[in-house]
Amino acid sequence: MSTSALKIGFIGLGIMGTPMATHLLNAGHTLFVHTHGRVPPALAESGATVCTHGKGVAERADIVFLMVPDTPDVEAVLFGDNGVAQGLSAGKTVVDCSSIDPIATKDFARRIRALGCDYLDAPVSGGEVGAKAASLTIMVGGEPAVFERVKPLFDLMGKNVTLVGGNGDGQTTKVANQIIVALNIAAVGEALVFASKAGADPAKVRQALMGGFASSRILEVHGERMIQRSFAPGFRIALHQKDLNLAMQSARALGVALPQTAGAAQLMNACNAQGHGQLDHSALVRALEALANHPVAPEAA
């Protein structure tokens, strides 16, 4: 793929989709966008063309990116009324950056390929911070030749871009990622609840642990959130809850036991039931605090 301006579509301009699309636009590409709700004014004012539906995006763009919440959303965007599939012509490419069901992804890819088009599943990790910093990890499933054509665009949005395998393998990798992240958040939350209940200063405990084998990015970033009581969403509990549900569904289909993932999923469910679904996933600690009847730290004034 040349570095000259390309016609790119982007559907789904939420917390992460907006900065991702902005990086593509700032690189000089022509951008056609559609989203549920209002297109962010800054994006429209920067030259993005707003389309009324996915079909219009696909008619105008050669490569269409999707960044929407869940499997049914991707299916509706692709194959619903005025969906992307209706606007595609042979030779175009669909890139789904959403985090969805790996099995459904394989079916979506098959249906798009039947139209003479290419398909990559390319879920991302890094949250709002990574999206804004163009430092996302991007896990890609699809044909190597298609990956190589699109990679210069991935490089505008992420730092760690890996072709994992065929269609569906990118989504499988993202599910694995979400298992690891959830279990780390739960571990950090348990440790800080324990330390605080025992009378230690959780901030100093975290500082000490950062210098040892327990150090992790989750302890660094989300441990601080738990102590500072700063739960503005970078990645919402409701979305991580969805991802763990995907993990459990896939595990049942594969006959695999994921006991620790099941526990983390229940903690996510508890947080959602308590009305915390729109908070950052570091607020998983609230479920642990409720079980202990003890907060890691007082709420911010």
Cβ contacts of 202-207, under 8 Å, gap ≥ 24:
202/226, 202/227, 202/296, 202/297, 203/227, 203/297
* Amino acid symbol at 247: A
| Residue of 55, 106, 132, 174 marked catalytic | 174
The whole-angstrom distance between residue 106's C-alpha and the CA centroid of its chain comes to 18
Q: 233 with 279: CB under 8 angstroms? A: yes
Q: Look at residue 78 and give its three-state secondary structure.
A: helix
CA angle 29, 140, 146 (to 5 degrees): 60
Buried b / exposed e along 265-290 (16+ C-beta atoms within 10 A): bebbbbbbeeebbebbbbbbbbbbbe
Number of other CB atoms surrounding residue 62 within 10 Å: 14
Cβ atoms of 65 and 9 closer than 8 Å: yes
- 174 catalytic, yes or no? yes
As annotated, the active-site residues are 174
